[in-house]
Structure 1
């Protein structure tokens, strides 16, 4: 692959048609057949199951399939909003679903990819809710419900999450540096790329005597977005897309 493109937190929804259009154009203009595209969670603002045929799911799936049919490699990681993406979705799009965390060589360097919510370990309430909602029992109960009910439940979960988030301090919802270092040391890497926090930045720090880097991806908006590009020769840059 000539380059790897890395994005996250698009939060695609029928409520944000301009963002959907922006992403479809991104696939046409930037994600060429010789590219690898990594989506590190929250491609969708909500995913209620692979039997979901509500907008914008069909057109997004079609566009992703077109990318893979033309030779592109597609890797998608679950986020906190779309962790129900499953094997039917993977087959429909031609993507590979990645575990979180996941280590891959990009531009000649071993790189740790994560959605990022596991790094926010100070937010104990969120971590407990995450564990509950990803339990097999919770997922089985949710998926068994009619689509209309799942849509309503997903909207209610987002509403409650927004209310809770508004009451929390900004610091508690950001990553914990010790947790970051623990994950990086465990996987033997000095480069980490993640999303989730919506706080795009490049953080450099010392890790076990070496310089380490943590890239935080930008969340997508209706008129503007960005992606991380890593060339085969190791050149890495943050690129705007409008």
Structure 2
């Protein structure tokens, strides 16, 4: 069997969307279990309220990761803009290793930089200001210590604001800035980048013939699963149906 490394992002798992959760569970049990490594590049959840969330849904997702990592599959997680509160307790509960905002990895002899992708959208100034605020350690420390019912009210307000903001924001602002993409590639001296966030799955080739660069954008899981399958032989962006065909 060809060994593979799998990448997913932007599942936006939520108790209100069981078809996405069902697809995720099938993916974890039938596919990820046979991989070398699984990378989750952010926005696994529609919103992660904190590692102290012990709801039935949160525990279900924890158990799926624990089931996977206990078989020996390495699993890594990069925080997204919806689950930046995933922390050390989640890691300890699941066996998932947390990564920084940008990480260079080795893919069967090829170096790549992986990230969620929100920091590449430099034209979205309003969002980047919001991101800077919510990533402040003191604010996260405070949020993690307030009662759960207050957290839920705050999160509901944030989700409403995010949805409203997207309705009025030009699409080009929410996409990556090419100069920032090239800057990050230059920073790590690599020719391959993998990210999510923009919900625009594609494989972008640019640069010169002698110095060709590749940016792979992972898809969201709104209408089907989306998986980047990477092996020694190559790679492909693939879809996974929500409902298995009988």
**Length-normalised TM-score, structure 1:** 0.95
Task: Please name the residue that 1:227 is paired with.
Answer: 227
Task: Please name the residue that 1:236 is paired with.
Answer: 235
Superposed, which structure 2 residues align to 1:30-41 within 5 Å? Answer: 30-41=31-42
Question: Is the contact between residue 33 and residue 71 of structure 1 (CA under 8 Å) also seen in structure 2?
Answer: no
Per the alignment, in what secondary structure is the counterpart of residue 74 of structure 1? strand
Q: Determine if the alignment matches structure 1 residue 204 to structure 2 residue 172.
A: no
Task: Please name the residue that 1:138 is paired with.
Answer: 139
Question: Is the contact between residue 105 and residue 111 of structure 1 (CA under 8 Å) also seen in structure 2?
Answer: yes
- Offset at 1:208? 10
Q: What are structure 2's unaligned runs of at least 5 residues?
A: 242-246
Name which of structure 1's ranges 192-201 and 134-143 shifts more when overlaid on structure 2.
134-143
Q: Determine if the alignment matches structure 1 residue 14 to structure 2 residue 15.
A: yes
Question: Is the contact between residue 36 and residue 73 of structure 1 (CA under 8 Å) also seen in structure 2?
Answer: yes
Task: Please name the residue that 1:107 is paired with.
Answer: 108
Per the alignment, in what secondary structure is the counterpart of residue 145 of structure 1? coil
- Offset at 1:143? 1.1
Per-residue CA deviations over 1:95-116 (Å, capped at 9, x if unaligned) read 1001111100113210010100
How many Å separate the matches in 2 of 1:16 and 1:237? 26
Question: Is the contact between residue 7 and residue 40 of structure 1 (CA under 8 Å) also seen in structure 2?
Answer: yes
Question: Is the contact between residue 42 and residue 81 of structure 1 (CA under 8 Å) also seen in structure 2?
Answer: yes
Task: Please name the residue that 2:43 is paired with.
Answer: 42
Name which of structure 1's ranges 47-56 and 200-209 shifts more when overlaid on structure 2.
200-209
How many Å separate the matches in 1 of 2:66 and 2:91? 10
How many Å separate the matches in 1 of 2:13 and 2:56? 10
How many Å separate the matches in 1 of 2:185 and 2:22? 35
Question: Is the contact between residue 195 and residue 218 of structure 1 (CA under 8 Å) also seen in structure 2?
Answer: yes
How many Å separate the matches in 2 of 1:208 and 1:184? 16
Task: Please name the residue that 2:244 is paired with.
Answer: none
Superposed, which structure 2 residues align to 1:117-156 within 5 Å? Answer: 117-156=118-157
Per the alignment, in what secondary structure is the counterpart of residue 56 of structure 1? helix
Question: Is the contact between residue 5 and residue 35 of structure 2 (CA under 8 Å) also seen in structure 1?
Answer: no
How many Å separate the matches in 2 of 1:116 and 1:56? 26
How many Å separate the matches in 2 of 1:28 and 1:48? 25
Per-residue CA deviations over 1:73-127 (Å, capped at 9, x if unaligned) read 1101100000110111001110100111110011321001010000000111110
How many Å separate the matches in 1 of 2:206 and 2:219? 20
- Offset at 1:55? 3.8
- Offset at 1:138? 1.6
- Cα RMSD of the aligned pairs, angstroms, is 1.5
Q: What are structure 1's unaligned runs of at least 5 residues?
A: none
- Offset at 1:2? 1.8
How many Å separate the matches in 1 of 2:126 and 2:132? 10
**Length-normalised TM-score, structure 2:** 0.94
Per the alignment, in what secondary structure is the counterpart of residue 83 of structure 2? coil
Question: Is the contact between residue 79 and residue 101 of structure 2 (CA under 8 Å) also seen in structure 1?
Answer: yes
- Offset at 1:198? 0.4
- Offset at 1:34? 4.4
How many Å separate the matches in 1 of 2:102 and 2:33? 26
Q: How many residues align?
A: 240
